Structure 1
Amino acid sequence: MTVADVRTQDRYPTRRGAESALLERTDPVVWPGVDSGPAGTGELAEHQDKGFHVLPGLLSPAEVQEHWQELERLVRDPDVRADERTVVEKESNEVRSLFEVHRTSEMVAELIRQPRILDRARQILGSDVYVHQSRINYMPGFRGNGFYWHSDFETWHAEDGMPAPRAVSLSIALTDNFPFNGGLMVMPGAHRTYVSCAGKTPDDNYKSSLQEQKVGVPAEDDIRRLGYEHGIEQFTGAAGAALWFDSNTMHGSGNNITPYPRSNIFVVFNSVQNTLVDPFAAKQRRPEFVAATDFTPLGR
């Protein structure tokens, strides 16, 4: 079997009918290939075991303030608001996400190239990396809608053509994450199970799924089974903390009805050895700002 055959073979089938299924993951979580970097042995072991690890204080208070001001600048910019890369809430029309932010913000572009971030991504994925997707998520107080339980890899595989779960996401908190303002919930250990979802991908599904995902989400019985088997943890802590999590981590968040907004920088690093092919369960790949096809390795 050639390298091309391995990359185009659908080892994680999904959206093929009315029934969902739980499949065993066949790929590593922490990949071999990069032996040194900022991540310690314990952090990598935790990432391997739980599918994620938390790094308190990735950004200093001064850096948090600088990046929060950058978020506010982007949200207030009428050109940014009118851009197709800006997603708004269905009901309130408030900004929900600003995509491809590493291209629209020099500050974010510089941040993700710093060794403390880039070299950790390389350690986890065992190779050079590129940015598959970046965005700033903004969950306002009172009206911020959450994200239902899902694995990002299921969507990236089905709709973007990502062959394997050799990608890692970084969520950097720009606001304090409390247990009560819609903080991200994760299932430790569930990354070892791939949920093959029911249904089929509608045309241009991304236009609605970026606001509210309805296709490619696990059945309630699957969520119940994974939840009782693995439990649920929540990413909380002071602004500046970071959560690194595997692309197949089962995660979700509740609505934010508190006065306290919750915002984060979200970046997906993909291995340059795991670049996109044709989508596995969609007629065409999502737009460039959602699923990059520039596979140039990220440099310092």
Structure 2
Amino acid sequence: MTLVDVHIQDRYPTRVESGSDRKWITSDEPTVRGSAQEGPASAEELAEHARNGFHIQRDLLSDQEVGACMDELKAMTDDPAIRSDERTIIEPASEEVRSVFDAHLLSDRIARLIREPRILDRARQILGSEVYVHQSRVNFMPGFRGTGFYWHSDFETWHAEDGMADMAAVSMSIGLTDNHPFNGGLMLMPGAHRTFVPCLGRTPDDNYRSSLKAQKVGVPQEEDIAELARRHGIEQFTGPSGSALWFDCNSMHGSGNNITPYPRSNIFVVFNSVENALVEPFAARERRPGFVASRDFTPLRA
């Protein structure tokens, strides 16, 4: 039994019991809700985002800004209070820091950065509304031992476990290190964001405690991934540090392990439309904590 309000229609049922209930759903929601006149993204960038479900913003940060952010990340991970905080996720095997959530609340520098027009106005432009931060974190993939994430749609989790009703959220990942084709960079299926893939299995209580380290519930079946890849192909986000990837909440994506000497770090922020404020979870017994899914829907201001 879930907590979802019975008056809110579940347009994307998931975490189903059997394969016969696992039917793909074609989304009719707009991926881009604003126009080129409403923000910094060009008409070409918006068209690419609508078509593929993602686009790359080159040279978002200067080398100096990247260096300052890396210093900030090091200070965060060296802080014993932050390292022992529930918001910090540790790699299961190596005991190294994998992610620190609530990055924009723990770091004044990141808080200021995401409010700058070059970022905030683009998020508003894509979503066609005021936005708030659904989730923020800094991610680390160390060299030699960095573990990836299996194929998934973030929206499937946010819908099932957080109560995000519609696909009116966009994620931004700023690379603070170079993203090579060989150091575990993010892979995406262009155009697959138009298809919602329900997943099998009930949501365990406190699922976030394990899923933030290695997701096992809320991932597609192999046959789904194979068919989506056949239809859409796979692309990878590569580029120098300071580049940013913007991708739709329902983009099918994943990353491989990093066995190279080259670590990979990024700032990750999810902007959700204030018109898409969370309700109760659609396929979980309880809400996830606020550092994973914020319920402060106050619009982000410059």
Task: Give the whole-Å Cα distance in 2 for the aligned partners of 1:256 and 1:156.
Answer: 26
Map 1:158-197 → 2, pairs under 5 A: 158-197=160-199
* Post-superposition CA distance 1:133-181 (Å, at most 9, x none): 0000000011100010000000000000001010000000000000000
Task: Give the match for residue 155 of structure 2.
Answer: 153
Task: Give the match for residue 269 of structure 2.
Answer: 267
**Mapped contact 1:34–1:126 kept (Cα < 8 A):** no
Task: Give the whole-Å Cα distance in 1 for the aligned partners of 2:241 and 2:6.
Answer: 41
> 1:263 deviation in Å?
0.5
Task: Give the match for residue 14 of structure 2.
Answer: 14
Task: Give the match for residue 58 of structure 2.
Answer: 56
Could you list the structure 1 runs, at least 4 aligned residues long, displaced by more than 6 angstroms after superposition: 4-7
Task: Give the whole-Å Cα distance in 1 for the aligned partners of 2:112 and 2:7.
Answer: 31
SS of the equivalent of 1:21 reads coil
Task: Give the whole-Å Cα distance in 2 for the aligned partners of 1:26 and 1:144.
Answer: 37
Task: Give the whole-Å Cα distance in 1 for the aligned partners of 2:162 and 2:134.
Answer: 10
> 1:6 deviation in Å?
11
**Mapped contact 2:5–2:279 kept (Cα < 8 A):** no
| TM-score of the pair, normalised by structure 2 | 0.96
* Post-superposition CA distance 1:240-277 (Å, at most 9, x none): 00000000000000000011100000000000000000
**Mapped contact 1:34–1:122 kept (Cα < 8 A):** no
> 1:22 deviation in Å?
1.4
> 1:33 deviation in Å?
7.7
**1:256 pairs with 2:255:** no
Count of paired positions: 297
SS of the equivalent of 2:151 reads strand
Task: Give the whole-Å Cα distance in 1 for the aligned partners of 2:267 and 2:135.
Answer: 11
Q: 1:228 aligned to 218, 223, 230, which one? A: 230
Task: Give the whole-Å Cα distance in 1 for the aligned partners of 2:242 and 2:37.
Answer: 26
State the Cα RMSD in Å. 1.5
> 1:282 deviation in Å?
0.1
Gaps in structure 1 of 5+ consecutive residues: none
SS of the equivalent of 1:256 reads coil
Instruction: Note closer, same or farther for the CA distance 1:22–1:273 as it changes in structure 2 (3 Å cut).
Output: same
SS of the equivalent of 1:245 reads strand
Map 1:1-300 → 2, pairs under 5 A: 8-19=8-19, 20-32=22-34, 35-300=37-302
Instruction: Note closer, same or farther for the CA distance 1:6–1:186 as it changes in structure 2 (3 Å cut).
Output: farther
> 1:126 deviation in Å?
0.5
**Mapped contact 2:36–2:46 kept (Cα < 8 A):** no
SS of the equivalent of 1:259 reads coil
Task: Give the whole-Å Cα distance in 2 for the aligned partners of 1:30 and 1:6.
Answer: 29
> 1:18 deviation in Å?
2.3
Instruction: Note closer, same or farther for the CA distance 1:156–1:163 as it changes in structure 2 (3 Å cut).
Output: same
**Mapped contact 2:132–2:274 kept (Cα < 8 A):** yes
Task: Give the whole-Å Cα distance in 2 for the aligned partners of 1:181 and 1:55.
Answer: 20
Which residue identity does 1:10 align to in structure 2? D
> 1:50 deviation in Å?
0.3
Which residue identity does 1:262 align to in structure 2? R
Task: Give the whole-Å Cα distance in 1 for the aligned partners of 2:97 and 2:62.
Answer: 26
Which residue identity does 1:172 align to in structure 2? I
> 1:122 deviation in Å?
0.3
Gaps in structure 2 of 5+ consecutive residues: none
Overall identity of the aligned pairs, in % = 65
Which residue identity does 1:200 align to in structure 2? R
SS of the equivalent of 1:8 reads coil
